Amino acid sequence: MAMKTVSTEVTAETGGSATEKHPKGLYVLFATEMWERFSFYSMLALFTLYMRDPGEGFGWSAEEATGLYANYLMFVYASPLFGGWLADKKIGYRKAVMIGGVFFMAGHLLLSFRSLPIVYVALACLVIGNGLFKPNVSTMVGNLYPEGSHLKDRAYNIFYMGINIGAFLGPVVMEVVKVRFGYHPAFAVAAFGMLISVGTLWWFKSYVEDPKHGAQVSHTGTSESAQKAINAANAMDAVPEWKRIVALIVIFLIVIVFWMVFHQNGSTLTYWADENTDWQVTGTISNAINPFWIVALTFPLVWFWKRLDRKGKEPATPTKMAIGMTLTGLSFFVLYFAAKIGEATLTGNDLYAYKVSAAWLISSYAVVSLGELMLSPMGLSLVSKVAPIRMRGLMMGGWFVATAAGNKLTMIGVYWDRWLHSTFFAVLGAMALVMALVLFFLLKPLKKAMPGV
């Protein structure tokens, strides 16, 4: 395969200093994604509790609500495969995001009406909306940067903080609106957040139009960081496309377990926060703990990676992901010990009637959030750096298909009322640690297939 020269490649938005500072388009996409995630996580914070509510909702059992939640997440994260392909081949990234946003608004508005058939129509709209929105807004972030740029990891960390500001605000606002006005007005507020998201992208579209790869600059005066980007991009282009795609698929398969474990936050961890922690709020608000930690930890972690990069010691992206998987497993062993302590206080036959300090839940979320920062935004960055340009949207969709498979496996939550909680947490933690070991074992061949990442 002929090696493509990228030494003069920059984007229209960033110019010759692209590898030195972040373009304005990053912050437009930051705000666009922040408000979309506000809407998305508002719905997730409410959904299982809403379906179980006998008054405003439908009085479903925990198992029924968890099952629908898992199936919804599976479809909502599988749909980006088609949405990414459609943007690559037909309509472009920004247009796909805008159309997806309209479907999102429709889905959230429909949930503000109490009707089980309408619930299913709303979920279908949200699936379509996410398929068009999610992979393509993530691809647009990477496209703001020259190939091989060392800024991509940090750009995705910053972008990911926008995701989690929205994810933090959603449950907090939903708790207030739900308590004062009920579930249905809360779903309408989620739709309003989506309106802000689409409006932001439309108003500032000039900063994020698809970059024209191949804008030319002079070789003279190329900075050291720009030269790093050039070398990394040329090394990547020397690897056959099929090897790069296979390496990404291996990563996708491994992170399925991460998403299975992590997305217990919308079901079993919400139930545990609602019923087994000693605080005076509902499980809805517990969905704000993880994004709070993401926002709090992002800039210290970005600073840490930047400092290591200056010393030439920043870990490769796959190494960061292996560390993140390890932390994910350990976070569930924090919950294991909390549940063990709670179960030891029980004297009757009810195995689930204990209460423990909310500090256990908050501490566990701190550990898993740090792991998430080393895994989820790094996965987005990895796809942007490794996938061939002509199929970048499709491969970004592949990342979300892995997320979909993991979300389908959140169905393991049906054992929540059958196993001891300590057993449930231990099983999930152990599965994450096993996958971390697999990833560490595969680091050497992965780095050969993905040089310079």
What is the distance between the alpha carbons of residues 54 and 60, in angstroms, rounded to a whole number? 8
- When mean pLDDT is compared over 2-6, 298-302, 365-369, the highest value belongs to 365-369
Report whether 232 contacts 452 (CB < 8 A).
yes
Over residues 27-55, the pLDDT tens digits come to 999 999 999 999 998 888 889 889 999 99
DSSP secondary structure string, 69-113? HHHHHHHHHHTHHHHHHHIIIII-HHHHHHHHHHHHHHHHHHHTS
Beta carbons of 453 and 254 less than 8 angstroms apart: no
Tokens of residue 48, six digits: 């299982």
Beta-carbon contacts of residue 322 (< 8 Å; ≥ 6 apart): 436, 439, 440, 443
Average pLDDT for 123-135? 93
Q: How large is the average pLDDT for residues 93-111?
A: 92
Alpha carbon distance 353, 337 (integer Å): 16
Whose tokens are 């495969």? That residue is: 81
Q: Each residue of 377-392: pLDDT tens digit?
A: 888 888 888 888 888 8
What average pLDDT does this structure show over 4-11?
35
Q: How far is the CA of 277 from the CAs of 32, 113, 184, 262, in angstroms?
A: 34, 31, 26, 19
What integer is the mean pLDDT of 307-315? 87
pLDDT band at 146 (very low <50, low <70, confident <90, very high): confident
The pLDDT of 180-207, averaged and rounded, is 91
> What is the share, in percent, of the chain residues with pLDDT greater than 70?
90
Higher pLDDT, 428 or 22: 428
5 pLDDT more than 90: no
Residue spans per domain, the chain: 22-208+224-449
Provide the token pair at 406. 């993991």
* pLDDT at residue number 69: 85
| pLDDT beyond 50 at 450 | yes
Mean of pLDDT values over 94-109 = 93
Q: Does the structure show a pLDDT above 50 at 222?
A: no
The pLDDT value given to residue 63: 83
What pLDDT score does 216 carry? 32
**Torsion angle, CA of 137/140/145/151, rounded to 10 degrees?**
10
409 close to 260: Cβ distance less than 8 angstroms:
yes
* pLDDT bracket for residue 229 (50, 70, 90): low
CATH 3.40.50.720 assigned to 22-208+224-449: no
Query: Would you say 63 and 73 are in contact if contact means Cβ atoms under 8 Å apart?
Result: no
Does residue 321 carry a pLDDT above 90? yes
Q: At residue 110, does pLDDT exceed 60?
A: yes
